[in-house]
Amino acid sequence: MDKGRIIFLNGVTSSGKTSIVDVLQAREEYFDVLDEQGNKTGDIIERKEAHKKGICHRVIQVWVINSKNELLLQKRSANKDSCPNMWYVSLGGHIESKEDNRQTIIREFSEELGLDISNQIDEV
């Protein structure tokens, strides 16, 4: 990557949807349950249950901007239940239980863009 910028947004969701393709390809993921203020309750829930029951959990979005101020976007798969074939942030995903923001960003860069940025990112 050139000397661009990475913008990280931390958020909460309770309305995630998963397509059959995602279910078949995904490993089991567990999330920290959040209260209405976004605080961890101490409970952990499996991804499919969190989405099915509308349980709040942590998510991230990362916006990659290069030195020319160009924004990297990706087009969502036609198989996605939410917003198929739509343009989306550079990358995004769920923050798994026991995972911090930095670990999630490194994992998502690897999963979604095939890039190892573990030596290029400090604390988030």
pLDDT digits (tens, 9 = 90+) for 28-44: 899 999 999 999 999 99
Q: What percent of the chain has pLDDT above 90?
A: 55
Q: Is 2 helix (H, G, I), strand (E, B) or coil?
A: coil
* Exposure class string for 17-29: b at 16+ Cβ within 10 A, else e: eeeeebeeeeeeb
Contacts of 64 (CB under 8 A, 6+ apart): 1, 4, 5, 6, 7, 71, 72, 90, 91
Q: Which domains does the chain have, with CATH numbers?
A: 5-113 (3.90.79.10)
Q: What is the CA radius of gyration of the chain?
A: 15
Statement: residue 15 has pLDDT above 80 = no
Average predicted confidence (pLDDT) for the chain: 83
Contacts of 119 (CB under 8 A, 6+ apart): none
- End-to-end alpha-carbon separation of the chain, Å? 18
Decide if 53 contacts 15 (C-beta within 8 A). no
73-83 confidence digits (pLDDT tens): 999 889 887 78
